[in-house]
Amino acid sequence: MRIFNKSAITKVQGIAIVVIILVAAIAIGAYYTTAPKPGPKPLKITISAGPSGGMWYILCGKLSDMIKEDYPGSLITVMEGGGLANLERVNDGTADFGTTMSHYYKQALEGPWDPDRKDQPLAKQLPNLRAIARFSPIRHLFWVVDESPLKSIEQIKEQRYPLKIASSPWGSTPVWAMKRTLEAYGITLKDIESWGGKIFPVAYSQAADLIKDGHAEAFFGPVMPALTELAATKKLRILPLKEEVLESLKKKWGYDYKAIPAGTQLVPQVTLERDTLAVVEWQVFISRKDLPDEVVYAFTKTFLSRPDVIRKLHAELAAFDPSTAWKDVGGPLHPGAEKCFRDLGYIK
C-alpha cells in the first residue's frame, strides 16, 4: 500500500527547501549584524603649517595626532610654511591642506594682482583653493624691549630712528601686517634701513634670540611660545596702535582690529593696564579644490570634533567655535567641508 504519492513528496520537499533558505537567510543576516565593521580608511595627506615654534605648527602637529587616532594607519606630513607660502603650496598640490588668513584666501581667488610689483604678497590668481574652516583671530602687536627709548610708533619717523625689528619670514603673514602698519604711519622699510635700522624676517625662535642677544629691540606679530619664553627673562612692552591707522588697514587691505581688555596677561611681565588695540587677521584652513570630498570631510570632522583640545593649545585659539567656523572664511567652502558642517548641524 502506497502512503505518499509522488506529488505529496514533492510538496514536502518544497516546504523543506523554503525553510532551509529562510534559516540560512536569518543566519547570514545575523552574521553581518554582529560581524566587526571595517574601520575608517586611513588618510595620506600633507599639511603646510607655520614657522617652527609658532602656533600653527603646534596646531597642525596636534591635528595630525587626532587624525591618526580617528583614522588608524594614516600617514600625515606636517611641513613648515606660512600664510602666503601655504596658498601657493596648496594651489599647486605640494600640500593638501594649509593654514592662511581669510583676506589672503579671498585675494588669491579674486585679486588684485600685479606681477610687476615685488612689494606685494600675491602676484597671480590661485584658483585651486577652497576653504575648510575659520578657527580664530590672531592678534598682532608692536613689541619693544623695555629699555628702548621708543614710546610711540610716531617717534620712529619723527626721529628717523634706526629701528631694528624682527617679524616672521616673508612667506608668512605677520611680516606683511608689520610692513603695512608701518606704511600707514608713513614709514617704509627702505626708510628704516636708510636711517641705519634693519628688518629681520625670520622664524619666531630666531626673532626671540635676536632680541635676547641685543641684535633687535622690537618684534611685530602675535604672542607665540618663543616670545613667551623670552618675556620670562626679558622685560617687554607694547607700543600703542592708533584706531585711525587700524581703520585704514581694514579699508585698504581687509584686516580687522580688536581691543584686548585691560588686565589681560599676554606674556610674563606684560599685563595690560588699559584696553589695547591689535591688528587682527582671521585664521582659516584651506585645501585643494580638487581634493576628494571624502578626504576633506574626514579632515574637517576631526578638526571640529575636539574644540576643547584645540582651545587649550594656545591663547590665540581660545575663540575657536565649530558652530561658526564655516562663516566669513573669505571665499567658498570645499564641498566636503560644507557637507561635514551640515551633517553636524552647524549649517542648517
Q: How far apart are CA 68 and CA 58, in angstroms?
A: 16
CATH code of the domain occupying 139-281: 3.40.190.10
What homologous superfamily is domain 44-134+290-343 in, according to CATH? Periplasmic binding protein-like II (3.40.190.10)
**Looking at the predicted structure, is the pLDDT value of residue 9 above 70?**
no
Q: How far apart are CA 8 and CA 20, in angstroms?
A: 19
The residue extents of the domains of the chain are 44-134+290-343, 139-281
pLDDT at 36: 43
- DSSP H helices, the chain, are 6-34, 55-70, 85-92, 102-110, 154-158, 174-184, 189-194, 204-212, 225-231, 243-253, 293-305, 307-311, 335-343
**Looking at the predicted structure, is the pLDDT value of residue 199 above 60?**
yes
**Looking at the predicted structure, is the pLDDT value of residue 318 above 70?**
yes
- Same topology, domains 44-134+290-343 and 139-281? Answer is yes
Phi, psi torsion values for 142, nearest 5 degrees: -100, 105
* CA 58 to mean position of chain CA atoms: 10
80-91 CB burial, b ≥16 within 10 A, e <16? bbbbbbbbbbbb
Q: How far apart are CA 212 and CA 219, in angstroms?
A: 11
**Looking at the predicted structure, is the pLDDT value of residue 12 above 60?**
no
Question: Which has the minimum average pLDDT: 188-197, 240-249, 311-320?
Answer: 311-320
Look at the block and give the residue holding cell 610692513.
179
Q: What's the distance, Cα to Cα, between the start and end of the chain in Å?
A: 78
Question: Which has the minimum average pLDDT: 32-46, 139-153, 189-203, 249-263?
Answer: 32-46
pLDDT at 18: 57
Whole-Å CA distances, 341 to 110, 225, 324, 346: 25, 31, 10, 5
What angle is formed at CA 205 by the lines to CA 168 and CA 264, rounded to 5 degrees? 80
Residue 315 CB contacts under 8 Å (≥ 6 apart), including other chains? 223, 266
Band of pLDDT at residue 20, cut at 50, 70 and 90: low
pLDDT per residue as tens digits for the range 206-260: 999 999 999 999 999 999 889 999 999 999 999 999 999 999 998 888 899 999 9
Band of pLDDT at residue 118, cut at 50, 70 and 90: low
pLDDT at 40: 77
